[in-house]
Amino acid sequence: MNPLPIRNAMTVDVEDYFQVSAFAPHISRESWTSISCRVEFNIDRILALLDEEGAQATFFTLGWIADRYPAMVKRIVASGHELASHGWAHQRVSDQEPHEFRDDITRSKMLLEDIGGQQVIGYRAPSFSIGRHNQWALDLLQEAGYRYSSSIYPIQHDHYGIPDAPRFAYYPRDSDLLEVPITTMRVFKRNIPAGGGGYFRLWPYPVSRWFLQRLNRLEKRSAIFYFHPWEIDHQQPRQKGISMKTRFRHYHNLHRMEDRVRALTRDFKWDRVDRIFLERHA
């Protein structure tokens, strides 16, 4: 009898296109309320896509978004997905003082639980902004009642990452808070991003598929993959005044993203973070 396929964790960072960190110097938070949101339409497309293949996922949701679209949040929960926190207004942890971070994670957790009617135990920092110098954030997450984080990316990047951090789920700082890193592949003594985001749009799909197959078959590990609602929205407004580097990172291959995610749901088995990682580390 063939063994059951390894379950991988599908995750969605629920934020709109104008809330990404790269646009922060150009779009103030004060202006957000005057910008037309596209997140609800895109989330409904994602829910339909996941339902096609019976895939389950974890939705790391901004409090700012949930506060404006509570019915959308309830649809996520009603579809059987896990609701988790992405903070309140996409403020990088590295830009906050401890008391500000505590307020942020507590406020977002309470709102999401009130709307979703289920306990929120997962958190992902905006832009993976928990690094070497703000590990205190992990202690505050545990104090606030979170059971896991997916906030430390073990890669070299110009805006985030701890390249020598563990590649697989671990308990940092001798705590009870589980850290679940985005999937990487070890190539020539370096960690190569293999778990989504802009890299998934950059690599040809067969390369990404090979990465995940190798992880499942050879390393016998579950992958954790992430993407954003705006990444399946190639018709989103184009931001002016940004650098060529930022423009490439944000817009490259948006028109191919939805089909690639659909291919992932057919090629692999997907489930929620809590069911895969917390059950295993219970």
Question: Per the domain annotation, does 162 fall within a domain?
Answer: yes
Residue 123 lies in a domain: yes
Structural domain contains residue 132: yes
The token pair at 263 is: 């291919």
The number of CA neighbours under 13 Å toward the Cβ of 96 is: 24
pTM for this predicted structure: 0.96
Q: Hey, which residues does 225 pair with through a beta bridge?
A: 10
Q: What is the CATH number of the domain that holds 177?
A: 3.20.20.370
Does 271 reside within a domain?
yes
Q: Can you point out the beta strands (E) in 142-263?
A: 148-149, 178-179, 184-187, 190-193, 224-227
Q: Which domain holds residue 13?
A: 7-280
**Is the residue at 1 inside a domain?**
no
Q: Indicate the number of domains in the chain.
A: 1
- The per-residue pLDDT string of the chain (282 residues; one tens digit each, 9 = 90 and over) reads 446 689 999 999 999 999 999 999 999 999 999 999 999 999 999 999 999 999 999 999 999 999 999 999 999 999 999 999 999 999 999 999 999 999 999 999 999 999 999 999 999 999 999 999 999 999 999 999 999 999 999 988 767 778 989 999 999 988 899 999 999 999 888 999 999 999 999 999 999 999 999 999 999 999 999 999 999 999 999 999 999 999 999 999 999 999 999 999 999 999 999 999 997 655
Q: What is the model's pLDDT at position 1?
A: 42
Of the candidates 118, 77, 4, 52, which has an alpha carbon nearest to the alpha carbon of residue 259?
Answer: 52
Q: Which residues is 95 bridged to in the sheet?
A: none
Query: Is 2 part of a structural domain of the chain?
Result: no
Is 245 a member of any domain? yes
Question: Which element (helix H / strand E) includes 190?
Answer: strand 190-193
